[in-house]
Chain A
């Protein structure tokens, strides 16, 4: 159980393109979904937290107009990297959680984004 699917797994595109990443909880309803970014040899860093039907909460230093998050249902959240530039190249990972905030988060398999 607790499977989280993330799509696409790999994206290579030109600078200026907007890229949409989907995160789905397949066998449970996720009250909260999280978006992380991981640069090479670094820790995962939380970008934003989203709850179904409400606006995402962004971490300090993360531009909400750059990284658009939509959490339309209890099983789907999307992250759109708008007008992506090479410095946005990173490993983007979502996670989903059900129940109380102290429950484990279950991670998607990540999206490797490369902006040329």
Chain B
């Protein structure tokens, strides 16, 4: 079993759609959690941290459920510029463990 597993992609959605990404992690001792965004052939960029209390940044909402070891990312009113690969990332003792990423393609 992979340490961090994400929804397989790609997700193809129209502009304005709401899209949700799911992620599970296997190590219950993981300390912190993030969503990163990676554009094609570019470096990952931090999108947001994820907390049990939830974290909202504009159209993006991230949620953590420690009991079920589950992380989610919700994107509302998706834009063409949201097209990218979204990486679920878990910090285990200072090491970042990356999910394989879910590709999102937003179409006009």
Contact = CB atoms under 8 A, between A and B. Distances in A.
Contact of B46 (A91, A93, A104): A104
A107 interface: yes
Contact of A43 (B31, B42, B94, B99): B99
Contacts, number: 46
A67 interface: no
A32 interface: yes
Nearest to A104: B46
Interface residues of A, number: 22
A91 B45 CA distance: 15
A101 B100 contact: no
Given A44-B44, A106-B46, A101 B94 contact: yes
B93 interface: yes
A42 B44 CA distance: 13
Contacts of B91: 101-102
Contacts of A88: none
Q: Is the interface of B mostly helix, strand, loop or mixed?
A: strand
Q: Is the interface of A mostly helix, strand, loop or mixed?
A: strand
B94 A49 contact: yes
Nearest to A109: B43
A44 B49 CA distance: 18
Nearest to A102: B32
Nearest to A91: B41
Contacts of B42: 109-110
Contacts of A68: none
B1 interface: no
Contacts of A49: 94-95
Interface in B7-38: 31-32, 34
Which 4 A-B pairs give the minimum distances between C-beta atoms? Answer: A101-B94, A102-B32, A107-B43, A43-B98
16 contacts: A32-B94, A34-B96, A43-B87, A43-B98, A43-B101, A44-B96, A46-B96, A46-B97, A91-B41, A93-B43, A102-B32, A102-B91, A104-B34, A105-B46, A107-B45, A110-B42
